[in-house]
Amino acid sequence: MAKGAAARAAARRQRDKWKSKRWYSIRAPRNPWSFKVIGETMAEEEEMLIGRHYEILQYELDGDFSKMNVKVQFRINEVIG
């Protein structure tokens, strides 16, 4: 019974992970000098974002309705700001 009580006490002491996370905007390059915000994601630290994949439709990126069925996958490789 002592082990069960200790486990419950440890569960009560756990820190809420959601409070420590922050929102980050994901920007994709449109041309060499401008970017478009394609989404947002949460992470505790900036370094945890690197390597994540984000998938959108080509239509959302350039507005061309004929490319509605083409998916584009982005991988985060740097964090600025």
Chain-centroid distance, C-alpha 41: 3
pLDDT in tens, 37-50: 889 999 998 899 99
Q: What is the residue extent of each domain of the chain?
A: 17-75
Strand locations in the chain, DSSP E? 22-31, 34-43, 53-57, 71-75
Q: What's the pLDDT score for residue 9? A: 67
In this structure, the chain runs to a length of 81
- Each of the 81 residues of the chain gets a pLDDT tens digit; together they read 566 677 676 666 666 777 788 999 998 887 777 888 889 999 998 899 999 999 999 888 888 899 889 999 999 988 886
pLDDT of residue 40: 92
The dihedrals phi and psi of 10, each to the nearest 5 degrees, come to -65, -35
pLDDT of the residue at 18: 76
pTM of the model: 0.67
